[in-house]
Amino acid sequence: MKHSIAFISEHASPLALLGGADNGGQNVYVAELALQLAKQGYLVDIFTRRDHAGDAEVHPFAPGVRVILVTAGPARVIAKEELTPYMPSFRQEMEKFIRLNKLSYELIHANFFMSGLVAMELKERLDLPFVITFHALGHIRALHQGDMDKFPKERIDMERQIVKNADKIIAECPQDKSDLIEYYQAAPEKIVSIPCGFNPSQFYPVSKAESRALLGFDSNESLVLQLGRMVMRKGIDNLVEAFAALDHRSPKRLVIVGGPDTALEEDAEYKRLNQLTAKLGISDKVYFAGRKNREELSHFYSAADVFVTTPWYEPFGITPLESMACGTPVIGSRVGGIKHTVVDGKTGYLVDPKKPAELADKLNELLSNPGLLSEMSQKAIEHVNHYFTWEKVAEEMAKCYNSIRERKFAIQSQELNMIGSAFEEAAFTFQKAAQELASLVSAAGCKMAATLKAGNKILVCGNGGSAAESQHFVAELVGRFEIPHRKGLPAISLNSDTTIITAWANDFGYDDVFARQVQAFGNEGDILLCLSTSGNSPNTIKAMQMARKKGLQCITMLGKDGGKAAEYGHINLIVPSDSTQRIQEVHLHLVHLLCTIIENRLFNVLYTNKTSAKERQLAVKTNLNTDFAANGSLIGNYGS
């Protein structure tokens, strides 16, 4: 059986080119993970925001994978920092698509906090569990970017709410897990550590000479590569300054890949970096290659001697994996996922971000030592292929999904077992009650019928669920139970008059609200029926004391050991159970039995549960004396 899941990646579409301000590792993550899951038998729908008018709604991406464009805001490219207000529309349109196409997903995998907002609401509306990969945490971003962070200030609170509601949270590296626990109070048992990966069929060692010839680079120069999104936090200026400090007596070139999909010269970060290279006098040694297709990237990695990435912070960082897979050692920042993937001194070096002098020292060390470069190259290839392929990532992710599925099935199984046990317990309680209470129920019913026949009434009281049952019993007597054409029977629920109850409770105390009404309404010969699961409610006990004082008969419906109320009952119907649920269920049955006995005895109607409604009505019309007013009594000619 194929498992169907939905990915949400509101701003990072797998259809987009990489290297721009908002297109990078998340796009790769979503695409590659979906492809590998599809190979394992999953059906994956990727929901992403439409940013070009006229595009088809559904794009087949690969066997088992579709990309679905969701209309949320204007159909144009919008900076991700400005997308949060459009998430309600995203949720609405995504839900509409799901319902219209009658899709049934096992779970949602949300990517980034805005997708998490959508998933959180869909969980509530469609009962869909969700997994969240944040890719970047607002708190960490704010720490490093300060006033430059343009996301809504509410982002961190939104992320905390998502953390609270997610079924599982993917931590991409140990630092990610630590941050989730420290800053978001994430429950450790919710967190699953699964790294990002690379695709070995795309990234593998290619001849350096062949790659340089293809790209037009000199085979004799040392080549340093930076590749990724061209944004300030990536620390490209740190590399430019370090590169300027190198010994340039031997030819060296810095290649920077990435940038907007429009004219590179118009990009603000490009202008800043270009001005910096001019200021440092290395413009002729720095090549801004712009954005490239993924098919070209392996040649850039393979052409380079060293790959450098020194961001201020990095939740994971896929480019170091791709570089190492191509056999190119990495010098990276000692932050986030990079310090997890790059083995310092073996597959490259780790340095502090924003320290160009330290970076320059490591570059000089590697570029001047071909033997060390070769050794690190081999170790890098072995390291990433052992730990970080997308196939391995997808296998771990499938285990995460399975745990959610198994938990859901376990909960359902527990619920079914609970339901079965509850029915068995109820059946046992009913059977035991039938054995112990049958004669007492008959006696209580006869006593009530005789009381009503004599022109007296029944008062009823209880608390909570028993109060509801009190009103239920009175409704059956004043209205009718199974005989449709009879006159009403005089019964009063002492729970019904909120004016009396609230006034007396406010002025004197709740313990006397029933006793006061018994004093006012009760007469000798009447019956007081008290319902209580414990038998220890002070107000019902006081009501019974008042009833006895005034000459009323007391009948009780109780549970457990009967409590103190049993001391005042003339007839005690004590359900043989300690469970409040079972006691209340039997109380309901007792109410119905008493109604049946009362109607049978007052109207000379005898029938079983198999008697049809038509037969019952005929019996009533035959036996019921309708001339009630002739002798001045409420109901005339009762049976005995």
The three-state secondary structure class of 75 is coil
Q: What pLDDT, on the 0 to 100 scale, is given for residue 573? A: 98
Confidence at 614, pLDDT banded by 50, 70, 90:
low
Q: Say which residues have a Cβ less than 8 Å from residue 190's Cβ, sequence separation at least 6.
A: 163, 166, 167, 168, 169
Q: Where are the alpha helices (DSSP H) in 166-207?
A: 174-184
Which of the two residues, 621 and 531, has the higher pLDDT score?
531
Helix (H) or strand (E) segment spanning residue 123: helix 113-126
Q: Which of 215, 216, 253, 258 is nearest to 236 (CA)?
A: 258
Reply yes or no on whether the pLDDT at 1 is more than 90: no
Rounded distance, CA 132 to CA 167, Å?
Answer: 8
Percentage of the chain lying above the pLDDT 90 cut: 84
Reply yes or no on whether the pLDDT at 628 is more than 70: no
Q: Where are the alpha helices (DSSP H) in 60-111?
A: 87-100
> Residue written as tokens 């139970």?
481
Q: What are the phi and psi torsion angles at 352 (to 5°)?
A: -75, 140
- Phi-psi region at 327: left, alpha or beta (left = phi > 0; alpha = psi -120 to 50): left
Full 3-state SS string of 345-366: CCCEEEECCCCHHHHHHHHHHH
Percentage of the chain lying above the pLDDT 70 cut: 93
Q: What pLDDT, on the 0 to 100 scale, is given for residue 259? A: 87
**pLDDT tens, 142-181?**
888 887 888 988 999 999 999 999 999 999 999 999 999 9
Q: Say which residues have a Cβ less than 8 Å from residue 580's Cβ, sequence separation at least 6.
A: 465, 533, 559
pLDDT-wise least confident of 50-54, 201-205, 535-539, 610-614: 610-614
Confidence at 20, pLDDT banded by 50, 70, 90:
very low
Please list, residue by residue across 595-612, b when 16 or more beta carbons sit within 10 angstroms of its beta carbon and e when fewer do: bbbbbbbbbbbeeeeeee
Mean pLDDT of 606-610: 54
**Crossing angle between the packed helical segments 356-367 and 370-387, to the nearest 10 degrees:** 100
User: Cβ(106)–Cβ(4) under 8 Å?
Assistant: yes
Mean pLDDT (the chain, rounded): 92
**pLDDT tens, 23-48?**
678 999 999 999 999 999 999 999 99
Rounded distance, CA 7 to CA 46, Å?
Answer: 5
Mean pLDDT of 306-314: 94
Confidence at 635, pLDDT banded by 50, 70, 90:
very low
Helix (H) or strand (E) segment spanning residue 553: strand 553-559
CA distances to 217, 255, 256 from 273, rounded to whole Å, are 21, 13, 10
Mean pLDDT of 242-261: 93
Q: Which domains are present in the chain?
A: 3-193 (3.40.50.2000), 208-387 (3.40.50.2000), 435-623 (3.40.50.10490)
CA distances to 16, 66, 359, 506 from 107, rounded to whole Å, are 25, 16, 44, 52
- Phi-psi region at 317: left, alpha or beta (left = phi > 0; alpha = psi -120 to 50): left
Q: What pLDDT, on the 0 to 100 scale, is given for residue 23? A: 60
Q: What are the phi and psi torsion angles at 135 (to 5°)?
A: 70, -30
User: Cβ(635)–Cβ(487) under 8 Å?
Assistant: yes
Single-letter code of the amino acid located at 547: A
630: DSSP letter: T
**pLDDT tens, 455-488?**
999 999 999 999 999 999 999 999 999 998 899 9
CA angle (415, 416, 422) in 5-degree steps: 85
Q: Say which residues have a Cβ less than 8 Å from residue 539's Cβ, sequence separation at least 6.
A: 461, 463, 510, 511, 512, 513, 514, 515
Rounded distance, CA 45 to CA 58, Å?
Answer: 9
Cross-sheet strand order for the sheet of 168-171:
58-62, 65-70, 42-49, 3-8, 107-111, 130-133, 168-171, 191-193
Rounded distance, CA 601 to CA 567, Å?
Answer: 29
Reply yes or no on whether the pLDDT at 345 is more than 80: yes
Q: What pLDDT, on the 0 to 100 scale, is given for residue 426? A: 96
User: Cβ(452)–Cβ(553) under 8 Å?
Assistant: no
Reply yes or no on whether the pLDDT at 632 is more than 50: no
Rounded distance, CA 286 to CA 236, Å?
Answer: 12
Helix (H) or strand (E) segment spanning residue 227: strand 222-227
Cβ atoms < 10 Å from Cβ of 152: 14
Cβ atoms < 10 Å from Cβ of 60: 10
**pLDDT tens, 555-605?**
999 999 999 999 999 999 999 999 999 999 999 999 999 999 999 999 976
Which of the two residues, 625 and 556, has the higher pLDDT score?
556
**pLDDT tens, 401-437?**
999 999 888 888 899 999 999 999 999 999 999 999 9
Confidence at 613, pLDDT banded by 50, 70, 90:
low
Q: What pLDDT, on the 0 to 100 scale, is given for residue 81? A: 92
Rounded distance, CA 220 to CA 203, Å?
Answer: 24
Rounded distance, CA 242 to CA 557, Å?
Answer: 87
pLDDT-wise least confident of 5-9, 98-102, 635-639: 635-639
Single-letter code of the amino acid located at 633: S
Helix (H) or strand (E) segment spanning residue 67: strand 65-70
Mean pLDDT of 195-213: 95
Mean pLDDT of 289-316: 93
Record the tokens describing residue 356, joined without a space: 């160009």
Q: What pLDDT, on the 0 to 100 scale, is given for residue 2? A: 85
Q: What pLDDT, on the 0 to 100 scale, is given for residue 340? A: 94
